[in-house]
A = this chain, B = another copy of it.
Amino acid sequence: MIRILSETEIKQLAKLDLDVIAAIESGFSKLAEGNATVPPIMMIPVPEKDGEVDIKSAFIKGIPNLAVKVASGFFENPKIGLPSQSGQMLVISAETGFLQAVLLDNGYLTQIRTGAAGAVAAKYLAPEVVENVGVIGTGVQARFQMEALFLVRPFKTIRIFSRYSEEAKDAYAEEMSAKLGVNVIKCDSVAEVVKESSVVVTTTPSREGFITKEMLHPGLHITAMGSDTEEKQELHPEILGMADGLFCDLHSQSERLGELRSGYESGSISTATTVTELGEIINKVKPGRTDKDQITICDLTGVGVQDTMIAVKLYDTAEEKDLGIKI
């Protein structure tokens, strides 16, 4: 019996809450323990349409199912009135290999688990008390990242900067201030956002680093979650070498697809630089932030364990409530 769940059903079942953050945290913990197998991302480029289909997966020991996520980014879609991103997940039994469920989430679960990873980073790396935060970008992840961050660091003000239109920024400000009951301040530059914030999350598809050393200040934590390909970059590589602590989700992936890539290429960091995976902090193997005045940077590329954790959590709830079409 295979369960098929629609986007509407999934959106009703899966919310970005402390439970989801705990699930993602547990995934990172298993990964760092060596109890997760994460194959390299399968990438199928379709250059004719400026598109790419990416497949992520992970088997986590002790978890009876695993997810296979197929996510598409086709950047000519907006020309024909379609969103660039889409995606779905398969839930496969890790006991028999049989398909258990098809999650037609249209990328929603990826948004949730990516937001949750940002919260895990902030939980261990942001200063204890945070009043002012910033976000670069005003897209979907700029929303989920701030929602998730608010659950672990209930801040008062968000400063935003983006290259989108004024309308997009106004919509963001209105939506987030209503949702979280916080002030949202539109800024004219990245520098203005970073200068005034204790936590900054970058959520863009930029191909050039836009946070530079002049913007750094004591007690700043940056989570860069935008880069997930070999071309993308949000931080000027020199700041990686200046941070008091450098962190990531999965080192072998971040050094290929994340900010670490340009760090190593530029020579601002080397194999001698300590880079700590989130799971190592969670497992108390290595420290996170050890002083409120440190500057910390976390590079997130998105790991298959997050997909398996969120998919399995959703699947278990759907089973319990007996939802979806059964075939």
Contacts and interface: CB of A to CB of B under 8 A. Distances in A.
A140 interface: no
Q: Is the interface of A mostly helix, strand, loop or mixed?
A: strand
A236 to B, nearest CB: 31
A28 interface: no
Contacts of A94: 46, 48-49, 51
Contacts of A45: 37, 59
Interface stretch (A69-77, A202-210, A225-233): A69-77
B97 A77 contact: yes
Given A4-B327, A55-B57, A327-B325, A70 B92 contact: yes
Contacts of A104: 2, 99, 327
B59 A46 contact: yes
Nearest to A80: B96
B55 A42 contact: yes
A57 B74 contact: no
A66 interface: yes
Nearest to A73: B97
A187 interface: no
Interface size of A as a range: 35 or more
B77 A48 contact: no
Contact of A49 (B49, B57, B72, B95): B95
Contacts of A90: 70, 88, 90
Nearest to A57: B44
Given A49-B96, A55-B55, A86-B99, A6 B74 contact: no
19 contacts: A4-B325, A37-B46, A42-B42, A42-B55, A42-B57, A45-B59, A48-B61, A49-B94, A49-B97, A53-B57, A53-B92, A55-B57, A68-B70, A74-B96, A74-B97, A80-B96, A82-B96, A82-B98, A86-B98
Q: Which 5 A-B pairs have the closest CB atoms?
A: A72-B97, A74-B97, A42-B42, A39-B42, A86-B98
